[in-house]
Amino acid sequence: MQCLWCGAEFQARSTGGSRQRFCQPRHRVAFHTLARRWAEAMVESGTVTTAEMRAIVRRGNAALPPVRLAPLATPAASEGETAPQSSVHAVR
Ligand SMILES: [Zn+2]
């Protein structure tokens, strides 16, 4: 498995439960914190509506609209947090 947050390879537990996507609980929390703030920024900037977000989630991530992600560079989305795939080591 590859951690969704830091990209590190890790051994997912084999005891069942929900699918493990992060190498440690902190990375799951960091991801969800960032995801929530990202979603809020997207809605507040008018890039996407909550109705569209619901539709996207319902269809699955293959249906994400790539063309509408451009406004991500707005100040609201860049408060010192980095995307998971860029600077990985800063995460504590
Ligand atoms: Zn990780």
Question: Tens digit of pLDDT for each residue in 28-80?
Answer: 999 999 999 999 999 999 999 999 888 888 887 665 555 555 555 555 544 55
Please give the distance, rounded to the nearest whole angstrom, from the Cα atom of residue 5 to the centre of ligand 1. Answer: 5
Number of domains into which the chain is organized: 1
Q: Is residue 42 part of a domain?
A: yes
The Cα 25–Cα 56 span in angstroms is: 26
Ligand 1 center to residue 59 CA distance, Å? 27
Q: Quick check: 81 and 34 in contact, CB under 8 A?
A: yes
Answer yes or no: is 19 within a domain.
Answer: no
Distance 66 CA to ligand 1 centre (A): 25
Tell whether 20 is covered by a domain.
Answer: no
Residue 82 reports pLDDT greater than 80: no
Domain-embedded: residue 51:
yes
Distance 18 CA to ligand 1 centre (A): 17
Tokens of 39: 């979603």
Q: Which residues surround ligand 1, an ion (CB under 5 A)?
A: 3, 5-6, 8, 23, 27
pLDDT grade, residue 17 (50/70/90)? confident
CB 63 within 8 A of CB 56: yes
User: Is 16 inside any structural domain?
Assistant: no
Residue 87 inside a domain? The answer is no
Computed from CA positions of residues 80, 77, 38, 6, in that sequence, does the dihedral angle turn out positive or negative?
negative
For residue 65, give its domain range.
25-80
The verdict on residue 89 lying in a domain is no
pLDDT band per the 50, 70, 90 thresholds, residue 14: confident
